[in-house]
Amino acid sequence: MAFGFDQSNHHTSPVDHLMKVVAMLTIGVALTACGSNDQASGQPPAGAAMPVNVIEAQPTSVPVSAEAVAQTEGAKEVEIRPRVGGILLKRLYEEGAAVAAGQPMFLIDPVPYQNALAQAKAQFAEQKARIEQTRREENRLQGLLATQSISQREYDNAVSDNAVANAALQQAEVRVRDAKLNLSYATVTAPVAGVSGHFQFSEGALVSANTSLLTTIVQLSPIWVRFSFSDNELARFGGHLTEQNVQHVTLILPDGSEYQQKGQLNFAASRIDPLLGTQQLRATFENTDQRLLPGQFVRVRVTTGERSGVFVVPQTAVMTSDLGRFVYVVNEKNAATVRPVVAGNWLGTNWVILEGLNAGDKIIVSNLIKLRPGAIVSPQASEATPIPAPKIVQTPEAVSAPTPPVAPVEVPETTPMKAPEAAQAPEPKMPVTKAPEVAPIQTPAPALTPSQPITKAQIARDYEAYQKRPKRKFIGAHTQEPRFASYVKDWRLKIEQLENLNYPETAKREKLYGAVQLTVGVKSDGSLESVEINRSSGNKILDEAAIRIAKLAGQNGFAPLPPEISQDIDILHITRTWVFKEPPSK
């Protein structure tokens, strides 16, 4: 046959054949509809409420506290220097070991001081003999004066010689004591109990009296922690801190855990440092297990009391705008409304809200990026949103349905069949042999394909948007951009605290003159990503000091980027400039 018709099947009924065609076409239409329904099921119906998670605000009490970067120091830090000079013969202690008060630590060559002592004793004996002579002379002349055998002048001279001899004897006695003392100084002992440091000289070296630093001793228990607060931070406490208004001090170790012992404030400066704008503070902690070492960077949390009637809200629920911080609250109409709030400190991973919330408020904590003021929400877990069931279950009914529709399909009989084969066919309705026109049976496959290009196009658009996403942001340490100003202010205060801790006195800044500009990269989790020098005046000491401060701050950990920043920024680069004027003496 011209159309490739199998004559062996010529006995098949045309009606049956058409019914098969219709059934297959119906399946294709049903599958196409299912594909559309499946695609539509991925999106909520227009006007449907957005599912969100909410928490109910309940007033609570939180401690009134603030944290600061701190550095530990020994309660007693003693430099061991020799009080006499000479050759260092021997070290009498183990480096890094604990030493007791009065324990011998070094031995300086004692021979010169032994000789000096022997000489002082000889001079003392000489003066004792001389005083005996002058006393005898005085007694003898006193008897002669009574008989008028000598003049008064001769007797007075004898009395004066005896007095001079007594004074010389006292001087000789003092020289003996000095010689003994210097000899005792040849053995250098520990003035206090503590942990010894590194030996600065080797045995056999020549050391000078009162200048050569041999080692150090640090008393580790109790241990002191030095820190400071700025004026803004002191305002949170209601004023300057004193030993009376501070309840306790908590020490936070570098790994984030709290030190088991609570500390007490043992020093509070009576004025604000005019150069740094901070109040210098110091706390003391018991350290019997020597877990803390001097020079260690830690954090301290100072607690002055308790504040009631505040709310604790997850950090992710607190947003920031040009007008300040706010949260989304669900009203009685299930609409998301903006509620401005006044935030205090962080409490773990939560914000402490001081003002703006009422008891029972429903605060939205999920889908915040998609929310808009006035949007209708469903305060439920997002999993509760029903997914429309696929309608493919109706396909069997469509297949078995209607033999009646077969009648309209008899349209193929109208198709022109001018081929002679039609006359040779045993049955007049042979035009059913338009089996090639059964090609529409394959329409179900094309009907499924539209969903594929749409999905690929969506993926392509999403990937392109992801590629163009601004992952890095460069800003200055004094930026006024509302989204970054609050975070950068906290970051800057932390850097300044470390500067104050490392260089608290003007004398320590003598070599830090010039200018250096650094860019510090902070990851979204608060960890340090990079430190880079942009510009420098060429003072290597200042450059190294600035890099050291930035790395110390990174080791201690910055605050994580808030949601309004981290939602489209992976790394925040903050630029800061250090400028120190050259001292006038230079």
Domain boundary (343, 363, 382) is at 382
What's the burial of 48, exposed, middle or buried (CB within 10 Å: 0-12/13-18/19+)?
Answer: exposed
Residues 133 and 179 in one domain: yes
546 within a domain of the structure (yes/no): yes
425 within a domain of the structure (yes/no): yes
Residues 266 and 359 in one domain: no
Residue where the block lists tokens 């002579």: 133
Tokens of 478: 């004094």
What does pTM read for this prediction? 0.49
Question: How many domains, the chain?
Answer: 5
Domain boundary (284, 307, 330) is at 307
| CATH code of the domain covering residue 542 | 3.30.1150.10
Residue among 72, 105, 109, 107 nearest 191 (CA)? 105
Residues 293 and 365 in one domain: no
Tokens of 69: 């970067």
Helix, strand, coil proportions of the chain in percent (round to 5)? 35, 30, 35
Domain boundary (307, 330, 347) is at 307
84 within a domain of the structure (yes/no): yes
Q: Rounded to whole angstroms, how far apart are CA atoms 190 and 104? A: 6
| CATH code of the domain covering residue 159 | 2.40.50.100
358 within a domain of the structure (yes/no): yes
Q: Rounded to whole angstroms, how far apart are CA atoms 98 and 185? A: 21
409: part of which helix (H) or strand (E)?
A: none
Residues 297 and 322 in one domain: no
Residues 510 and 530 in one domain: yes
260 contacts: CB under 8 Å, gap ≥ 6: none
270 within a domain of the structure (yes/no): yes
185 within a domain of the structure (yes/no): yes
Tokens of 322: 């040009």
Residues 548 and 490 in one domain: yes
Partners of residue 342 on adjacent β-strands:
355
Residues 495 and 535 in one domain: yes
Per-residue pLDDT of the chain (586 residues; tens, 9 = 90+): 333 334 334 444 443 443 454 345 344 434 444 444 444 444 445 567 888 999 999 999 988 888 899 999 999 989 999 999 999 999 999 998 999 999 999 999 999 999 999 999 999 999 999 988 898 888 888 888 888 888 888 888 889 988 999 999 999 999 999 999 999 999 999 999 999 999 999 999 999 999 999 999 999 889 999 999 988 888 878 889 999 999 999 999 988 899 999 999 999 999 998 888 899 999 999 998 889 999 999 999 999 988 889 999 998 899 888 778 999 999 988 899 999 999 887 787 889 999 999 998 999 998 888 888 889 998 864 343 333 333 333 333 333 334 334 334 333 343 344 433 433 444 444 444 444 443 443 434 433 334 344 466 666 666 665 555 547 788 888 888 888 888 888 888 888 877 777 776 554 566 677 888 888 888 888 888 888 887 787 788 888 888 888 888 887 778 888 888 887 788 888 988 877 766 555 4
Helices (H), 264-339: none
| CATH code of the domain covering residue 258 | 2.40.30.170
| CATH code of the domain covering residue 327 | 2.40.420.20
Tokens of 79: 């430099």
Residues 420 and 543 in one domain: no
> Containing domain of residue 341, as a range?
51-62+318-382
Residues 273 and 348 in one domain: no
44 within a domain of the structure (yes/no): no
Residues 6 and 95 in one domain: no
461 within a domain of the structure (yes/no): no
Q: Residue-wise over 516-555: b if at least 16 C-beta within 10 A, else e? A: bbbbbbbbbeeebeebeeeebeebeebbebbbebbebbbe
Residues 84 and 178 in one domain: yes
Residues 277 and 328 in one domain: no
Q: Rounded to whole angstroms, how far apart are CA atoms 251 and 69? A: 10
